[in-house]
Amino acid sequence: MNSPATSDALKPEEVQSEAMEHEENQPETDQTEGPRYEEDFMSGPVQTSSAEHEQTADHDVKIETRDLNVFYDSFHAIKSVDMEIRNQEITALIGPSGCGKSTLLRCLNRMNDEIPGARVEGEVLIDGKSIYSNETDLVSLRRRVGQVFQQPNPFPMSIYDNVAYGPRLQRRLSRDEADEIVERSLRGAALWDEVKDDLRKSALDLSGGQQQRLCIARCLAVEPEVLLMDEPCSALDPSATFRIEELMLELKERYAIVIVTHNMYQASRVSDRTGFFLLGELVEFDMTTRIFEDPQDDRTDAYIRGRFG
Ligand SMILES: Nc1ncnc2c1ncn2[C@@H]1O[C@H](COP(=O)(O)OP(=O)(O)OP(=O)(O)O)[C@@H](O)[C@H]1O
Ligand SMILES: [Mg+2]
């Protein structure tokens, strides 16, 4: 029988808030405006793999936004966005700094509720049901829609306890059950082989790339349906970035994934659909191949070619 979480434990929404705070306290690693891919790669038109991407056109819609608007006090940060996020796909959100990508992402698990002065209007439907209705249980919403941040934010505890943390808040676990969840989640995040002999080691002693995969494992442990990733690789080196990208491609078989990235090559390599934002407006949303090879809006074209930021 399920038992409630003990009263001295953090609730999952507090875990999320703590994670947010932790993220906000981190130093910014990249303040560059606009596309940053030229820093890491040779510039030039981005090549995408059409065959791989176009097979994914028919997956079910998991999340739908309808006339979604976000205000920070009187500032209109997201302007009437209609967008569909599909199962078994990676959806990339791109656009210059300050265009509203993180704000949009936070609407999808109601993390904007935690921000004073933030107001959301319009609808976000998950599996056809509004998540902004009064009946929505925020704890269960944030379990279903997990989030990974720009800076890896493991808790100051062992690798094992980081992964078991969320499930232990949901119910009392036997040792065997916890072992099974920890192994499954670490395997799912492609970290198991590297840490299986060191599960009691502090998570803070892992490398940045390992910490980011641990944070992904922590999300997977509570069996989410959607993964939100806000610039998950911007603090990582190219090889750690490559591992996370490979992992995303594996994970999309089971989840709907939304990634915010400033790296055009990353968007084109991993995503199936891409949305280009500018000043809070969703300028263009389409298959990734179309966005990068035949954008319909001049502003999208200028952005992906690095002509403005
Ligand atoms: N808590 C807040 N209070 C007031 N304004 C905010 C807040 N958070 C974001 N904004 C404003 O909303 C707009 C969108 O911000 P957001 O962080 O969503 O942009 P972004 O596209 O994620 O940018 P970046 O690429 O730099 O992360 C910006 O003008 C920002 O200044
Ligand atoms: Mg952001």
Q: What is the CA(309)–ligand 2 centre distance, in A?
A: 14
Helix, strand or coil, per DSSP, at residue 210? helix
Which pLDDT tens digit goes with each residue over 148-186? 998 999 999 999 999 999 999 989 999 999 999 999 999
Grouping H, G, I as helix, E, B as strand and the rest as coil, residue 134 is coil
Half-sphere CA count of 185, side-chain side, radius 13 A: 28
Beta-bridge partners for 227:
146, 257
**Percentage of residues of the chain with pLDDT beyond 90:** 76
Q: For residue 202, how far is its CA from the centre of ligand 2 (angstroms)?
A: 29
Q: Check residue 309 and give its pLDDT.
A: 58
Burial of residue 2, with CB atoms counted within 10 A of its CB: 0-12 exposed, 13-18 middle, 19 or more buried: exposed
Query: Is residue 19 pLDDT above 70, yes or no?
Result: no
Distance 20 CA to ligand 1 centre (A): 14
For 201-206, the CB contacts below 8 A with 24+ separation are 201/158, 201/159, 202/156, 202/157, 202/158, 202/159, 203/154, 203/155, 203/156, 203/157, 203/158, 203/159, 203/162, 204/154, 204/156, 206/154, 206/159
Query: What is the C-alpha to C-alpha distance for residues 248 and 51, in angstroms, rounded to an integer?
Result: 18
Q: Domain residues of the chain, as ranges? A: 12-26+34-304
CATH number for the domain formed by residue range(s) 12-26+34-304: 3.40.50.300
Candidate from 28, 70, 78, 99 with most ligand 1 atoms within 8 A of CB, to mutate: 99
Q: Could you tell me the pTM of the whole model?
A: 0.83
Provide the residue count of the chain. Answer: 309
Q: Which residue do the tokens 């200028």 mark?
A: 302
**Residues by chain with Cβ below 5 Å of ion ligand 2:** 102
Ligand 1 pocket: which of 33, 79, 101 to mutate (most atoms within 8 A of CB)? 101
Tens digit of each residue's pLDDT (9 = 90 or more) over 182-221: 999 999 999 999 999 999 999 999 999 999 999 999 999 9
